[in-house]
Amino acid sequence: MNQEQRAAWNPEAYQRFRSHRLRPAIDLINALPGLPGGAIVDLGCGNGAVGDALKQLGRPVIGVDSSPEMLAEAEKTGVYDFLVEADIATWRPKVAPALIFSNAALHWLPDHKTLLPKLFSFVAPGGTLAVQMPHQNNAPSHHIWTSLAHEFWPNKWADQSAGPGVLPPAQYHHLLEPLGTLSLWETEYYQTLAAETDGHPVRKFTQSTFARSIFDKLSDEEIDRLTAAYDSVIASAYPAAEDGSVLFPFRRLFMVVTGAQS
């Protein structure tokens, strides 16, 4: 097992697919309504990939993340006015922001029925909560990780599923629509992943994010076994072109909810 596979957030591994991860964030920014006065919170800011685009909105930008490694990279961008190391589940702002923006972070947290209304309650009057999450759990890229993990070590997942969870879109609509003006949609991005010399491109993409919560419960030897098994079957779902590249459809869920002006 190499360092890239092990659990702590690896900024370099995440950065390799920066363009694919950044495009949904830009699409979410382009869907924002007008904002009241106040700062922007980049919730789950990671290595700061979205910070510069958020800064173009002309507001102070506050980055919040639980990973010291990612925050160290975010600081290097020089675009954040403040960076806060905090668990999103317990974080709360000192001053109500105009926008809480979360790109590909909230799916790691449980109990969205409580979490999302709580986050929305933090924004200023007329403010917005904007969220993007992968909605890929049932696709082969993600399902194969979880099905193999359950097959090899069923006792490790007796009390919980392997991997992060996302509710069906209709549940988010019922949850958020009473809170304000809601826009909810899904987009499937057809991404081309470049050839890799040491594994299938889809494995390299997903092991740096989705598979982390599975790796957390496994030894180094078990991770090696799981990774080898994944590589042996994933090509049947995502075959490589002659140059080794792979077409990788990836579905993402977006929601933007805006409160009334006081």
For the chain, the domains span 11-258
* CA-closest candidate to residue 55, choices 39, 73, 32, 35: 39
If one compares 11 and 56, the residue with the highest pLDDT of the two is: 56
On whether the CB atoms of residues 45 and 84 are closer than 8 A, the answer is no
- Cα(15)–Cα(122) distance, integer angstroms: 30
pLDDT attached to residue 15:
46
- Find residue 83's DSSP bridge partners: 63
Q: Candidates 3.40.50.150, 3.40.30.10, 3.40.50.2300, 3.40.720.10; correct CATH number of 11-258?
A: 3.40.50.150
Q: What does residue 184 show for φ and ψ, rounded to 5 degrees?
A: -135, 130
pLDDT attached to residue 164:
62
Output the six-digit token pair for 237.
């779902």
pLDDT exceeds 70 at position 9? no
* CA-closest candidate to residue 105, choices 252, 257, 215: 252
Instruction: Share the mean pLDDT of the chain.
Output: 90
Q: Which amino acid is at 92?
A: R
13 — pLDDT class (breaks 50, 70, 90) = very low
pLDDT attached to residue 213:
84
> Which tens digits make up the pLDDT trace of 137-154?
889 999 999 999 999 998
> Which tens digits make up the pLDDT trace of 123-141?
999 999 999 999 998 899 9
262 — pLDDT class (breaks 50, 70, 90) = confident
Output the six-digit token pair for 138.
């049932």
